Amino acid sequence: MQNSYFDFNATAPVRPEVIEAMNLAMADPGNASSVHSFGRGARALVEDSRAKVAKLVGAKPEWVIFCGSGTEADNQVLRCCPAETVLISAIEHDAVRFARSDSRKIQVTKNGLVDLGALDAALNQASGLTLISVMAANNETGVIQPLEEINRLAKRYGALVHTDAIQAAGKIEVDMTSWDLDFLSLSAHKIGGPQGVGALIARDKSLLGRFVHGGGQEYALRAGTENVPGIAGFGAAAVCAQNELDTFSKLAEWRNDLEDRLLAIDNSITIFGRSEARLPNTSKIATPGFSAEVQVLGMDLAGYAISSGSACSAGRVDLPFVLTEMGVAEELASCAIRISLGWTTTEVQISGFVDAWSKLYSRNRERISTNTA
């Protein structure tokens, strides 16, 4: 039995170039805040990686604040920006949804796009400095949000815009400068870097308060000794991701082929967001009567790693709130799985996946028929 990884949106396998960069960094004992030669060597690695991460998303190196995760980056901007009103899309990652108890949700369409009319109305009623947080692409459906339109609308009201680009970076072109964004969050492990390293990118750092208190690291906005090996790995992953953007975009052909072949098995399958622009690697599908839990566990036994949604639920197979916010009935949402491809995926694995899923479907056909009766 082969083992095939189809859960890149949860985390991507670490790239060989990243392991090499981290090994070299770990061989150097320097603290990046020390003034001796070892410290200066560590500082050079941090600053080199800062430039590489910035380049991946069209930012300036001095805008990049390294931190411990994408979740931390999201929390820092939402909790430390002095915004009186915070507007978030209804389908944001939990790192944004739960960062502030007073944030206001903006509804999305049935296809998972932010309702621009609802956003306009909310901005019209907002008071004081307003911060809008909308992810660049949804981690479950892969649907890409109209950030340029959102930003133009925000600027009419003098609002700031943050985007969680953790799923989008390295999969599509992300350009913080041309999009005219104020804040952007990243995470290394989504692009083949190490877990436990993220970045908050801030055009104007004076709009942020300190999140972790202590020393003066990261422009005095994120205290703590820098994770030099992790940051070096982040930089190496950023270079790989940028160099392979064109290659990654071609995954859409395999993803579409996979969807078409599953539809040929059961034409009642729903593919969420298929009519909208999506990340090229992501497919969120639901087969009526075929529970997500049965599919996730069954495909795992067949050697294929998939998920039912976000990987931030402590291993549970939960009802995906993203779909319910899109107006999907709970019975169908409970049958939804997420398939996400990446740099290790092969065409042979796609065919193997379809065959394995077809066999699992056939074994459960009676149960599926009962559940949909």
Q: What is the DSSP letter of 84?
A: S
Q: Which residues are catalytic?
A: 312
Q: How far is CA 273 from the centre of its chain?
A: 16
Cα 108 from Cα 112, distance rounded (Å) = 5
Give the pair of three-digit tokens for residue 40: 């200066």
Cα 41 from Cα 25, distance rounded (Å) = 9
Query: Which residues, at least 6 apart from 275, have a Cβ–Cβ distance to it below 8 Å?
Result: 111
Per-residue DSSP letters for 92-138? --HHHHTT-TT-EEE-B-TTS-B-HHHHHHHHHH--SSEEEE--SB-
Cα 359 from Cα 304, distance rounded (Å) = 13
Give the pair of three-digit tokens for residue 157: 């009201």
Q: Which residue has the tokens 């915004």?
A: 83
Cα 33 from Cα 222, distance rounded (Å) = 13
Query: Among 304, 262, 265, which residue's Cα sits nearest to residue 285?
Result: 262
Residues paired with 185 in a beta bridge? 164, 200
